[in-house]
Amino acid sequence: MPRADARHLLDVDALSDQDLEWLTARACELARGAAPASIAQTVVNLFFEPSTRTRVSFELAARRLGMTVVNVELDRSSSSKGESLEDTAAPLAAMGAGAIILRHPETGRCHRLAQAVPTGLRLLNAGDGAGHHPSQALLDLATLIDAGIDLRDRVVAIVGDVRHSRVARSDLAVFQRLGAAELRVAGPDSMLPDRLPSGIVRADSLDGAVRDAGVVVMLRVQHERMDRQAWPDPASYHLQWGLRTEHLAMADPGCRVLHPGPINRGMEISSAVADGPQSLILDQVRMGVFTRMAIFEWLFSDGART
Ligand code: NCD
């Protein structure tokens, strides 16, 4: 197993090619029934933003490895009394927590906490503002690999609120590293980043984004990161940017559709596509558990595992 000294998972950029390969291959192996490791560690879920899939799948993954999971109820914790995140992490470590899984609205908060956590405490970034979402990118990749998709001969389109999406940022980084044939983004002007990373193409319309695409990743409009005046009207948004079956007819015949969830049906995606044969949306959720199991195995591979 690579990177025996792994301490945190803050973003995908810090992962070596070997790490990336090991993590996704291991997730696929676990999905096919490989025996998981047994890890005598405690993990704490610290979620300052709502979450269903990410929080539950980290918890299920930890339990399948025999770990103890604690979910901190933030409205009942000392952070509601003004305690800093650093002062929340230290007592958790003193009580024997081996890892904290952090979701936070502030971009960069997880990286900042990583500078200050007690030695031995590992940090998993479960999404920081519009920053990074490494476990989502890994599970997206594992889902594609598990579905037999080789990114090297696929055009990938990421459509919607790219500007505020930590998923888009992390996905683009891994898809680019894996050598996707072409990477496109598209969405309303106000929802695209001011500058795109080099090598990423901007498409002017949904049609232009999905034409010949082999993978389409649809994104939710992140209302919580915008002023209310900037919220689009759902029906007009759907007309211009909502993925419907007619769009899939323009894509590669084997095109598969991803969406990290939560889904707003009738806005960024139609039910016919979300529930249709080309959708991998529930596969992503399923692979999310195996990917997070692989992440824990990787994170505790240095003797902290028993
Ligand atoms: C995403 C997130 O929280 O960044 N969801 C997820 O983790 N599955 C995307 C979103 O909230 O739209």
**pLDDT digits 0-9 by tens, 76-98:** 777 777 889 999 999 999 999 99
- Together in a domain, 272 and 294: no
Could you tell me if residue 4 is inside a domain?
A: no
* Atom nearest to 260 CA in ligand 1: 8
- Together in a domain, 181 and 126: no
Whole-number Å distance, alpha carbon 275 to ligand 1 midpoint, is 19
- Closest by Cα among 46, 51, 64 to 295: 64
Region class of 193: left (phi > 0), else alpha (psi between -120 and 50), else beta: beta
pLDDT at residue 90, rounded to an integer: 92
pLDDT at residue 305, rounded to an integer: 46
Residues with CB under 6 A from ligand 1: 53-54, 127, 133, 136, 166-167, 220, 222, 260-261
Beta bridge partners of 155: 182
Whole-number Å distance, alpha carbon 217 to ligand 1 midpoint, is 12
pLDDT tens readout for residues 95-130: 999 999 999 999 999 999 999 998 889 999 999 999
Whole-number Å distance, alpha carbon 306 to ligand 1 midpoint, is 32
Using CB atoms within 10 A of its CB, is residue 290 exposed (0-12), middle (13-18) or buried (19+)?
Answer: buried
Return the ∠ at Cα 170 (arms to 247 and 300), rounded to 5°.
135
pLDDT at residue 26, rounded to an integer: 98
pLDDT over 90 (residue 63) = yes
Give the domain CATH number at 52. 3.40.50.1370
- Together in a domain, 273 and 293: no
Whole-number Å distance, alpha carbon 167 to ligand 1 midpoint, is 7
pLDDT at residue 306, rounded to an integer: 39
- Together in a domain, 206 and 128: no
pLDDT tens readout for residues 147-190: 999 999 899 999 999 999 999 999 999 999 999 999 999 999 99
- Atom 1, ligand 1: which residue's CA is nearest? 260
**Sheet architecture: strand order including 42-47:** 8-9, 122-128, 99-104, 42-47, 68-71
By residue range, what is the domain housing residue 94?
Answer: 12-132+288-299
- Together in a domain, 155 and 273: yes
pLDDT over 60 (residue 253) = yes
- Together in a domain, 166 and 122: no
221 touches 161 (CB < 8 A): yes
pTM recorded for the entire structure: 0.96
Whole-number Å distance, alpha carbon 29 to ligand 1 midpoint, is 25
* Atom nearest to 166 CA in ligand 1: 4
The 3-state DSSP class for residue 161 equals coil
156 touches 264 (CB < 8 A): no
The tally of domains found in the chain comes to 2
pLDDT at residue 2, rounded to an integer: 58
